[in-house]
Structure 1
Amino acid sequence: MTYGEPARTTTGRIRIRKLRVAGLLVAIAAIAAALGDQWPASSSSTGSSSSAAASPIGAAPGELRGALGEADGAVPDGVMVVDDAIPGVAKLDPALLGALRRAATDAKDDGVELAVDSGWRSPAYQERLLQEAISEYGSAAEAARWVASPNTSAHVSGDAVDLGRDAAAWLSEHGAAYGLCQTYGNESWHYELRPEAVDHGCPPTYADPTQDPRMRR
């Protein structure tokens, strides 16, 4: 027994060391796997916005796409209808912009700010959005339900604005008083100026842009 006890103790220590090494290897493998999973996400951060998958293409073009940035109409997050430094706002039709700013003054009394997701766009930016929509939806016909061509888009002419959720909800109730009307049933964020709406209310919406005669020019 005098010699057996040290032997058993030594054997126990060896087993403990083996278990610790095995545990360390498992931990290293888990860390390596986690890093491997994160790598594609970080390396693909310059791709299209993940929010585009949650809503139709063009719904939130605040993200700068490729080399096309603010000068082409991309609108950063947090922009309001009073931000003249942003071309996407400043290049809107003056009558539309004036109506939006009058509405913004009253909306503020209700605790709502008229945030702009998209406004004026350059033809190049509109074409980029259209091509992304075709890729996303699989056909030009389906993409046309969400994104117009540069030749027909009211955004390119400065006659349309896409608003944030709270702003669009407020205008859905009060917009007619300013001549601001939702144009398409499938785009609750898309507003255009209809001056006659002040006296007669907003006209019925088109189901989507493909039903709008202006899109067939």
Structure 2
Amino acid sequence: MELGISTIAGLGHGLDRIYPASHKHLAKDMLQNGGLLTEFPSGTNPDRTNFPMRNRIVAGISDVTVIVESDKAGGSLITAYMASGYNREVAAFPGRVSDTRSAGCNDLIRSNIAAMITGPEDLLELMNWNKGTKHKTVQKQLFLNLAPEEQKIIDILQTKDSVHADDLYYQTGLGGSQLASTLLMLEMQGLIKTLPGKHYRMA
């Protein structure tokens, strides 16, 4: 909001109240450049069971759901799984494996539900929001010290602008979990990039 970007809040209660009450000033600012959205009638309290229902609206209206931090049972994971089910993009920031507050994000990335991002530039590229940026033509090159399954994926991606995850699954013969972990390793090495719609290309 500080940058003048329209912001919409999904509420788990009626429009006649704001929860928590300390966020009233934020709600007023949103009404000036965005809005407040709810399916609950006035008089509805912010009951705990309302928020998972609210999450499906948040997931549905968003181009991409970004999870910054979440443990394995975090409420934001509900939104992430809903967004994935709606074929919306999901992104997550990775964290230390010893940090329980990042366990949910790490699981989303490891299971290939979320694309790994580490900053705003990654999000812009994931969503193709860099309109003025043109991808360089991929040149065939030799990669050393790659595992056989990694080399399979590289060989396929070098022949096309982008390849869907399902096509990689069939062409490589790798199992679903092995493919997801291999794609993650290649992305962490900076060799490939995740695109909208579960497509991949050379970095």
TM-score w.r.t. length of structure 1: 0.25
TM-score w.r.t. length of structure 2: 0.26
Q: Which has the larger radius of gyration?
A: 1
Q: More strand per residue: 1 or 2?
A: 2
Q: More helix per residue: 1 or 2?
A: 1
